[in-house]
Amino acid sequence: MSNEELESQLSAMFDDELPGSQCELLARRLARDEQLRARWGRYAAISACIRGEQGVRLETALAAKVSAAVRQEAVPAAVPPPGVAGRNFFNPWVTSLGGIATAAAVAAVAILWMRSEGPAMVARNTQVATPVVRALAVQAAPDATVADTGAANAVPVAATASRKSREPDSYVVPAQASQGPALLAPTELANYIVAHSEFSGPLMGRNALSALVAGESAVPQVTAQPIPATVVPGK
């Protein structure tokens, strides 16, 4: 590169009009080349003169003092390049993902807690919950089969045990569901979901969360079961 081209670049860099890549190369040279740096200093003095600033001097006493003081300073600690440091923490994507992860963790804890604590709680509240569930089931499916099935799963354990032998197996109740109050909560939830799904979508559309809440081991086992014709009213 010729001297004139270099000096032309220096002039453009002084005006912040040099492309970034060329700036980096020239900055490296400028930091080492005293002649070039002196020229840079004169450009600054000329600029100050044209703008009519007071006290412009060509000698660089202030710059020399600062330079001497800086030579005695420790090198500033290395930091990541501008645009990187300290921004990830506030990155909207990171913040959003963090929020989603937190929400998912809270939901998982709540589900696990429900599965472990739910049966005992439901055993205590069965008498209160039963009429509501039964009403829901009857309202949702006036056909006798569905209403009986829903009601059978919602009535107290004692009544269920006595009627169990003459009622058909529920398609949503696992075989051991009638063996004790421990599985009442999943049963109630499952029946509610089935009743609700008549209006919101087919049984095949149950999602993994429903299966998890209902305490079933795997979704395919549930969805593979045939849907009784009596589930949907009018069919």
Partner 1 sequence: MTADASDLSLVQRVQRGDKGAFDVLVLKYQHKVVKLVMRYVRNPAEAEDIAQDAFIKAYRALPQFRGDSAFYTWLYRIAINTAKNAVVARDRNPVDFDLDMTNNDESYEMQGRLKDSETPEALVLTDEIRTTVNAAIANLPDDLRTAIVLRELEGLSYEEIAATMDCPVGTVRSRIFRAREAIDTRLREVFEGGLGRAEEIG
Q: Which residues contact partner 1 by CB under 8 A?
A: 7-8, 11-20, 23-24, 26-28, 30-32, 34-35, 37-67, 69-71, 73, 75-79, 81-83, 85-87
Closer of 13 and 231 to partner 1 (Cβ): 13
Q: Distance (Å, rounded) from C-alpha 97 to C-alpha 101?
A: 6
CB of 91 to partner 1, least distance (A): 14
User: 55: phi > 0 → left, psi -120 to 50 → alpha, else beta; which?
Assistant: left
The nearest distance, CB 90 to partner 1, in angstroms, is 12
Rounded to a whole number of angstroms, the minimum distance from the CB of residue 81 to partner 1 is: 6
User: Residue 72 CB, nearest distance to partner 1 (Å)?
Assistant: 10
Helices (H), 51-173: 61-71, 92-140, 144-154, 157-163
Phi, psi (5° rounding) for residue 78? -65, 140
Task: To the nearest 10°, report the CA torsion of 108, 109, 115, 118.
Answer: -130
Q: Which is nearer to partner 1, 26 or 222 (CB)?
A: 26
Q: Is 35 exposed, middle or buried (0-12, 13-18, 19+ CB in 10 A)?
A: exposed
Instruction: Rank residues 71 and 166 by Cβ distance to partner 1 and give the closer one.
Output: 71
Least distance between partner 1 and beta carbon 92 (Å): 16
Residue 24 or 117 having the CB closest to partner 1: 24
Measured CA angle at 231 (ends 186, 215), to 5 deg = 15
Neighbours of 110 (CB within 10 A): 10
Nearer to partner 1, 47 or 217 (CB): 47
